Amino acid sequence: MTEKLPGIKHIIATSSGKGGVGKSTVSVNLALALQQKGFKVGLADVDIYGPSIPGMLGLEGMQPQVLGQQLLPLQAHEIKVMSMGFLVGQDAPAILRGPMITKFIQQFVSGVQWGELDFLILDMPPGTGDAQLSLAQTVPLTGALVVTTPQAVSVKVAIRGLRMFEKVRIPILGVIENMTGWANPGATGEANPFQGGRMLSEGAHVPFLGSIPMDQLVAVSGDEGKPVMIEHPHSPAAQAYRQMATRLLDRISDLEAGASALGTFRWTLSTDEGAPHRPDPSLNRSSQRSLVPVGLGSTRDGIEIQWQDGTVLEYDFRGLRLACPCAQCIDEMTGAKILQPNMVPVDVRASIIESVGAYAFRFNFSDGHATGLYTFELLRSIGEARQAALEARKATSAN
């Protein structure tokens, strides 16, 4: 398995569209289910507005030690844990704006001495705001889990989070339905009338990893700092978590078997250090247009990208610079171009190209500009437009 960060094989985000669906409870018990299968697991509570994991793991009031420039995670039930709650306290408000959110998320991943991990589970804040987008842009995720409850209102909100991750090309590992019916239906005589999680997975064409029954043991165990996977390992909820962990492992295995993207890289063009895969002429072309780059190489005036369908498109550096989509170059409210051709040097070049998550590239240009995120969809469109313009010019010259 390819390491996403030094020592960490897989980073998984647990998300939800709204609060109150038990996302943190799922994060804790799923992490424990993976640990009980023999994996080395870390759990980062990046729900910076409402960290709850310290209480669920009996770690309230504890603080991490600092070693050099890194925080040392605490440990509970043989998993490593870091939380905003350790730094500001469970009851202290976290008043943070966009740039600070990004800083804290980066700190919780790269600024913690996690050591060797098979899995790092990130318990995300609910919604689709700065925290989610910052995570997608700064952390090389294996994929995301979407937690919902069976009710339609929860599903409608959850699908927004699912679509957000899809838009930034982070794989959806699966949907988890929490609080499904009762652990013992005979106690109420009622079956669960809702099937929201399964309907969400079928509608979005992503795996359904399973459902967790509504069980008072889960809530009581969490409140007491003794997760159900530890305190009641034979309960229906604990069994459901174990099955879910198995399905998650199968899903990751399937993704790895079919993976063909470039992965994480930072390519310095002057030295060729960190160069990703070169275009492969033997790759077969298919009839379906692809937004997955599988090869990246340099040309005299720019780069060429090979796409998964076999198409190879060339890009000149100046054209890429003029197409920058950032807020300095395009008015976010109107979409009107701010950057004009006379503002860009004719000989502008890129010095560094780096991957951003699993959905974009960032270019460091020689004019000092490096804030634009070029999504794969945008790059494909730029390349096709350039190719069409060149072909039209050739046809005009021939006539």
The model's confidence at residue 131, banded by pLDDT at 50, 70 and 90, is low
**Does 225 share its domain with 277?**
no
Check the CA dihedral 19-24-25-31 and report its sign.
positive
Backbone angles phi, psi at 215, to 5 degrees: -140, 125
CATH code, domain carrying 299: 3.30.2020.30
State which residues form the domain around 351.
Answer: 266-398
- Listed as own residue / partner, the contacts of 310-316 with beta carbons closer than 8 Å and 24 or more positions apart are 310/283, 310/284, 310/285, 310/286, 311/285, 312/279, 313/380, 313/383, 313/384, 313/386, 313/387, 314/383, 314/386, 314/387, 315/379, 315/382, 315/383, 315/386, 316/386
Among 229, 257, 285, give the residue marking a domain's end: 257
**Does 288 share its domain with 203?**
no
What average pLDDT does this structure show over 167-187? Answer: 73
Q: How high is the mean pLDDT of the chain? A: 82
pLDDT digits (tens, 9 = 90+) for 73-91: 999 999 999 988 887 655 5
On whether residue 1 sits in a domain, the answer given is: no
pLDDT at 324 over 90: yes
Chain-centre distance for alpha carbon 99: 18
Run of H or E residues at 60: none
**Does 58 share its domain with 31?**
yes
pLDDT digits (tens, 9 = 90+) for 211-269: 998 888 887 877 788 899 999 999 999 999 999 999 999 888 777 755 456 777 899 99
Among 257, 287, 315, give the residue marking a domain's end: 257
**Does 241 share its domain with 354?**
no
Total structural domains in the chain? Answer: 2
**Does 38 share its domain with 185?**
yes
Q: What is the pTM of this model?
A: 0.65
% of the chain surpassing 70 pLDDT: 81
pLDDT digits (tens, 9 = 90+) for 39-70: 999 999 887 767 889 899 999 888 888 888 88
**Does 311 share its domain with 210?**
no
Q: Helix and strand tally (H, E) in the chain?
A: 12, 17
**Does 210 share its domain with 149?**
yes
